[in-house]
Homo-oligomer: A and B are copies of this chain.
Amino acid sequence: MNITEEEKKAVYKTIYNRRDTRSEFKTEDIDDEVINRILDAAHHAPSVGFMQPWDFIVVRDKKVKEQIKDGFEQANEEAKLMFKDERQKIYKSLKLEGILEAPVGICITCNRNRAGETVLGRTANLDMDLYSAVCAVQTLWIAARAENLGVGWVSIIHHDVLKEILDIPEDIVPIAYLCIGKVDYFHDKPELEKAGWTSRIPLDQLVHYDKWNKKEN
């Protein structure tokens, strides 16, 4: 199946205009049809040994969201104390999630036992199943952006708390809790770049040839 020049441009446009959304969510709900499309896209992410280790919990219940918000607040209070002086001041000024505003939350998990103990491709690297589930997260994110939906990854929450709130079984690993919704607008750059938290690294500093630190092709 050939991807045309126009289609390629659409893919790059989507990748470059994807953002982590926290503040611009509209509260109106998302159609199930759209949610199913982005979940099905995520389900077509690569997975080690084709084990498809992911599950998706779609959260719309306000009470569940409020518990997740509490979990965030707790972890964020701890986090604030880890930054000092000016950094702490900036940290406190940042809005880092849109849990209650976003109409839909999606928790993506990894079932490490889905394909038994021995998994093709997971023999030398035992984290490959976790990485597969992360590929599902990023695939969902890109599909959502193509639907003009904002996505925000809430990483500031303890996963044991998340598991308890969502009744996730002991042996299932939460990978991401995502907030998803229509947005007023997408930022033209990452918000942390705009806020002066950190800058984009020039790509050539990150590229090596044949060996680490060999900078010539």
Contact = CB atoms under 8 A, between A and B. Distances in A.
A115 to B, nearest CB: 7
Given A56-B208, A131-B175, A169-B212, A143 B15 contact: yes
Contacts of A82: 118, 123
Interface string A1-26: 11110111011111111101000000
A30 interface: no
Nearest to A209: B58
A146 B7 contact: yes
A140 to B, nearest CB: 10
A110 to B, nearest CB: 11
Contacts of A56: 206-208
Interface residues of A, number: 105
Interface in A136-194: 137-139, 141-143, 145-148, 153, 155-159, 166-169, 172, 175-176, 186, 188, 190, 192-193
Given A11-B142, A43-B203, A138-B138, 13 more contacts: A1-B188, A11-B11, A15-B41, A20-B46, A45-B138, A52-B206, A56-B207, A115-B198, A121-B153, A124-B155, A134-B134, A167-B211, A167-B213
Interface of A: 1-4, 6-8, 10-18, 20, 32, 36-37, 39-41, 43-46, 48-52, 54-61, 64, 75, 78-79, 82-83, 91, 94, 96, 115, 118, 120-125, 127-128, 130-131, 134-135, 137-139, 141-143, 145-148, 153, 155-159, 166-169, 172, 175-176, 186, 188, 190, 192-193, 197-198, 200-201, 203, 206-213, 217
